[in-house]
Amino acid sequence: MLRFLFRRLLIAIPTMFIVVTLAFFMMRAAPGSPFVNERHLSPEVEANVMAKYGMNRPLAVQYATYVGGVLHGDLGPSLKYKDKTVLKIISEGFPHSLLIGGLAMTIAAIVGVSLGVVGALRQNGPADYTAMGVAVLGVCIPTFVTAPLLVLLFASMLGVLPTGGWPTASQPLSSAWRYFVMPVAVLSLPQIAIISRLTRAGMIEVLRSNYVRTARAKGLPEHSVVLRHALRGAILPLVSYLGPATAGVITGSLVVERIFSLPGIGRAFVASALQRDYTVVMGVVILYAGLILFLNLVADVLYAALDPRVRLS
Partner 1 sequence: MRAWRTLMLAGAALGALMASSCDSGGSRPPCPAGKLCYERGNVIDPLTLDPLKATTVNEDHLLGDMFTGLVQYDPMGEPAPGMATSWKTSADGLTWTFHLRDAKWSDGAPLTSDDFVYSLRRLMDPKFASEYAYILYMITNAEAVNGGKLPLTALGVDAPDAHTLRIHLTHPVPYLLRVATHETMYPVPRHVIEKYGDQWTDPRHWVSNGPYIIKSWVLGDRIHAVRNPYFYDAKSVCIDEVNYHPGSDAIAVERAVRRGEIDSANDIQSNRIAYLRRPDQIPAYVHVKTWLGTTFLGFNPNAVPAFKDIRVRQALTMAIDRDFITNKLMRGGQLPAYTFVPPGVASYPGSEPPHWAGWSLERRQTEARRLMALAGYTPQHPLKFEFKMRNTNDPQLIYPAVQADWRAIGAEASLYPEESQIAYSDYSARNFQAADIAWIADYNDPMTFLYLMKSTTGPQNYTDYKNPAYDALLDQADHEVDIVRRGQDLAKAEHMAMEDATIAPIFFYVSKNLVSPKITGWVDNLSDWHRTRYLCFAGHKPPG
By the criterion CB under 8 A, which residues form the site for partner 1? 31-33, 35-42, 44-45, 48-49, 51-52, 80-84, 89, 92-93, 96, 118, 148, 151, 154-156, 159-168, 170-171, 174-175, 178-179, 181, 257-264, 267-268, 274-276
Q: What is the distance between the terminal CA atoms of the chain, rounded to a whole angstrom?
A: 6
| Cα R_g (the chain), whole angstroms | 24
Q: How far apart are alpha carbons 112 and 135 in whole angstroms?
A: 9
Q: Which is nearer to partner 1, 149 or 305 (CB)?
A: 149
**Which amino acid is located at 280 in the chain?**
V
Q: Which of 202, 279, 306 is nearest to 27 (CA)?
A: 279
Q: Which is nearer to partner 1, 240 or 261 (CB)?
A: 261
Q: Which is nearer to partner 1, 183 or 233 (CB)?
A: 183
Q: Which is nearer to partner 1, 247 or 259 (CB)?
A: 259
Q: How far apart are alpha carbons 105 and 115 in whole angstroms?
A: 15
Nearest distance in Å: CB 275, partner 1: 6
Q: Which is nearer to partner 1, 163 or 296 (CB)?
A: 163
Nearest distance in Å: CB 296, partner 1: 29
Nearest distance in Å: CB 134, partner 1: 12
Cα 240–Cα 242–Cα 246 angle in degrees, nearest 5: 140
Nearest distance in Å: CB 7, partner 1: 38
Q: Quote the distance between the C-alpha of residue 113 and its chain's center.
A: 19
Q: Contact at 8 Å (CB) between 291 and 250?
A: yes
Nearest distance in Å: CB 40, partner 1: 4
